Amino acid sequence: MTAILPLERHFARVGAPVGGVFTERNLFPWIQRRTRPLEDGPAAAARLLAERRPGKRVAYLHVPFCANHCLFCGFYRNRSAEDAMAEYASRLERDIAMDETAAGGPPIQAVYFGGGTPSALSADDLHRLVSAVRRHLPLAPDCEITIEGRVAGFGDDKIDACLEAGANRFSIGVQTFDTGLRQRMGRKASRQETISFMERLRDRDRAVVVCDLILGLPGQDMETWRNDVATCLSLGLDGVDLYCLTLHDKSPLALSIAKGSLPPAAGLERMAAMYGAGLEMLEDAGWRHLNQAHWASATRERNLYNQLVKAGADCLAFGAGAGGLVQGHRYVIQPDIDLYGKAVDSGTKPVTVVLPPPANRQARDLVMGGLEGGRLDIARLESLTAPGLAATLEPLLAQWAAAGLIRRRANAIILTTAGWFWHCNLVGSLFELIDLSMGGGTPPADLSSPQPQGIRHAG
């Protein structure tokens, strides 16, 4: 039997507009803020990585360089400089090559070069890194190999180098097609340059092409937003991410808004309306909704890396600041590029912090992976937690249904448009209730565990 759970504090507002169903977005429910890192973390990670266990695996390679700090972004670390990037690429190649444990074990289903800006690397470095991954890691025959990039500085020579080495997916950060807004956010290419770039990439027809758009930027009204989604639709891409703006404290964007040089970012109501409008436009155009923030137009787009990571697959991490996951243990590679380089030069993988898995990992993975895809099997959740959980949760689920967040289907809940928008809150609530139902008790104070790169923002 499950304990009596404090369901009311997770209730939504019935009858409120979508943006007012909860008072704030629970942005990163999966970050284990209250978990103490393992004392023997690096040794524990090494042991776990060396174990051979069946299961899906992916790999993340981090490239922490950018030409400039875009105002909204929380991922910026180092300004790109040719020498530093070339040196870093050599270290990253060595990091991949020296990882003997990665070579064993089940196939790797997806590889993601993320950043920062992988497309800031030279054509030669992109070629040798993709080649190194293919040479040293046991990739599945249909492995998805994604290169993340931006339009400025991603020349044809670099694209050719990626394709020749075997990359088969490009994820391009467009953010908005509006030239004025782009410039205000620190993006260098104009609308026309961005469109031409995406068309050239599409016309090669040798890889999946997806783009990221952000909604809720200061000065981005509904018309600009609809125009962004319509432009994306007109380009014949394979997929798109629609990300709600996260306004990071102390980001250049937050500071510009605070001093009045930019208008405020969208509030919850405008954000919800924009998300809903984007979702409707993509649905009307026949795109498939794969994850909370991701849609695909073509069958060749699988969005595999993101899907597997969100469902708790093991993720091998390479590069300064990369975040990995092994048997539910999150680990972080040394983020300082000099310290990272020194460790790799001496033949050591510089794992810094390792967090133990949450107590109810399987149930959490089911909630996270399920709701990312818009559906959660409550009977299966009960089988992974405590008998009686479904009945205990019933008043909450009925309340969420009344508030328009979910629909009920036999043993499952299905997200509505409002539910997709608030999906992180629903995940956070279920995480908390599962912990309590399994005797987790009141959680201790926030220990501010690190947020690895590689597992994305809230969507």
Ligand X SMILES: C[S@@+](CC[C@H](N)C(=O)[O-])C[C@H]1O[C@@H](n2cnc3c(N)ncnc32)[C@H](O)[C@@H]1O
Residues that bind ligand SF4 (CB under 6 A): 66, 69-70, 73, 75-76, 115-117, 150, 173
Q: Which of 347, 333, 299 is nearest to 452 (CA)?
A: 333
Instruction: Specify the stretch interacting with ligand X by CB under 6 A; choose among 105-113, 238-246, 301-309, 343-351.
Output: 238-246
Q: Does 275 bind ligand X (CB under 6 A)?
A: no
Nearer to ligand SF4, 99 or 193 (CB): 193
Using CB under 6 A, which of 30, 72, 197, 225 touches ligand X?
72
User: Shortest Cβ distance from residue 180 to ligand SF4 (Å)?
Assistant: 17
Say which entry of ligand X, ligand SF4, none residue 212 contacts (CB below 5 to 8 A, set by partner kind): ligand X
User: Following DSSP, what letter does each residue of 239-307 receive, concatenated?
Assistant: EEEEEEPP--TTSHHHHHHHTTSSPPPP-HHHHHHHHHHHHHHHHHTT-EEEETTEEESSTT---HHHH
Q: Does 115 bind ligand X (CB under 6 A)?
A: yes
Say which entry of ligand X, ligand SF4, none residue 360 contacts (CB below 5 to 8 A, set by partner kind): none
Q: Does 150 bind ligand X (CB under 6 A)?
A: yes
Q: Does 252 bind ligand X (CB under 6 A)?
A: no
Chain positions 130 to 149 lying near ligand X, rule: CB under 6 A, are 148
Residue with tokens 């060749």, as numbered in its chain:
300
List the structure tokens of 322.
């990369």
List the structure tokens of 169.
């997916």
List the structure tokens of 306.
């993101």
User: Shortest Cβ distance from residue 42 to ligand X (Å)?
Assistant: 25
Using CB under 6 A, which of 112, 154, 243, 295 touches ligand X?
243
3-state secondary structure of 141: strand
Say which entry of ligand X, ligand SF4, none residue 243 contacts (CB below 5 to 8 A, set by partner kind): ligand X
Please state, as a whole number, how many other Cβ atoms lie within 10 Å of the Cβ of residue 43. Answer: 12
Please state, as a whole number, how many other Cβ atoms lie within 10 Å of the Cβ of residue 209. Answer: 25
User: Shortest Cβ distance from residue 118 to ligand X (Å)?
Assistant: 8
Q: Does 246 bind ligand X (CB under 6 A)?
A: yes
Parallel/antiparallel/unpaired status of strands 208-215 and 288-291: unpaired
With both helix axes pointing from N to C terminus, report the angle between 268-284 and 222-234 in degrees, rounded to the nearest 10. Answer: 30
Say which entry of ligand X, ligand SF4, none residue 246 contacts (CB below 5 to 8 A, set by partner kind): ligand X
Nearer to ligand X, 114 or 357 (CB): 114
Query: b/e string for 20-38 if b means 16 or more Cβ within 10 A?
Result: ebbeebbebbbbbeebebb
Q: Does 265 bind ligand X (CB under 6 A)?
A: no
3-state secondary structure of 99: coil
Q: Does 291 bind ligand X (CB under 6 A)?
A: no
Say which entry of ligand SF4, ligand X, none residue 76 contacts (CB below 5 to 8 A, set by partner kind): ligand SF4
Nearer to ligand SF4, 318 or 431 (CB): 318
How many Cα neighbours within 13 Å face the side chain of 93? 17
Question: For residues 287 and 230, is the Cβ–Cβ distance under 8 A?
Answer: no
Q: How far is CA 231 from the centre of its chain?
A: 23
Nearer to ligand X, 2 or 251 (CB): 251
Q: Does 322 bind ligand X (CB under 6 A)?
A: no
List the structure tokens of 136.
């040293």
Q: Does 176 bind ligand X (CB under 6 A)?
A: no
Question: For residues 241 and 282, is the Cβ–Cβ distance under 8 A?
Answer: no
Say which entry of ligand SF4, ligand X, none residue 69 contacts (CB below 5 to 8 A, set by partner kind): ligand SF4
Using CB under 6 A, which of 22, 75, 177, 275 touches ligand X?
75
Interface contacts to ligand X, rule CB under 6 A: 72-75, 114-115, 117, 148, 150, 173, 175, 212, 214, 243, 245-246, 248, 457
